[in-house]
Each structure stands twice: as structure tokens, then as C-alpha cells.
Amino acid sequence: MSQVTLAGVELQLDENGNLIDRSQWNREVAAELAKEEGIDALTEEHWKVLDFIAKDYAEKEAVPGMRRMNKVGGIPTKDLYRLFPGGPIKKAARIGGFPKPVSCV
């Protein structure tokens, strides 16, 4: 566990760099986490993905995997990789303030 300050908020992170307490999350924190992941600015397309994860997490208590993002979220795999290169589900979950997805190693 580590502690960092982003967007003026002191955050507790787990060993994977994901928030331990999502109540510390806000859009400004998300923007800073995105920068750490190499994403300069979060667009409406990014927010569509992040909002779907939040909605699905509230229902299922788990970060949706790639297949669910495609089928239920209507977000094609190629778009996920374009928006969150090099590990879209893992990166989107981290930026969204959620735990590391079970489907990611």
C-alpha cells in the first residue's frame, strides 16, 4: 500500500496502484491518474467507458471484462485499445477508481 497526492487529494493505493477507497475519487483525480497512464486528456469517449464501468460495478460489484464491455456496454475492443492502450480494462479501472479487474493478470 502506498500514499500519493493527486489533484489535491491524498489517496491510498493498493500494490497495483488502484484506489483502496473509491470515495477519494473524483474527475480531477481521474484526469491525474490518466496522465500517469499516458493519457493526456479524458474525452467524452473515455468518460463513456468510465461511466459504463461505474454503472456495471454498482450492479455486479466487479469491473466488467472485455466481453461484457463489448456486448453490454456496446464498446468495441478496438475502441477500448485506442482509448486505453496497452491494457484497456486494467487502465480504465485504475483511472475510474476501481480495483484491478479479476480478469487481468
Q: Which of 7, 20, 31, 104 is catalytic?
A: 104
Are the beta carbons of 102 and 35 closer than 8 angstroms? no
Q: Is-contact 1 59, C-beta < 8 A?
A: no
Residue 102: the pLDDT is: 79
28-50: average pLDDT: 97
Distance CA 35, CA 52 (A): 20
Active site residue 104: yes
* Residues 43-84: tens digit of each pLDDT: 999 999 999 999 999 999 999 999 999 999 999 999 999 999
Structure pTM? 0.92
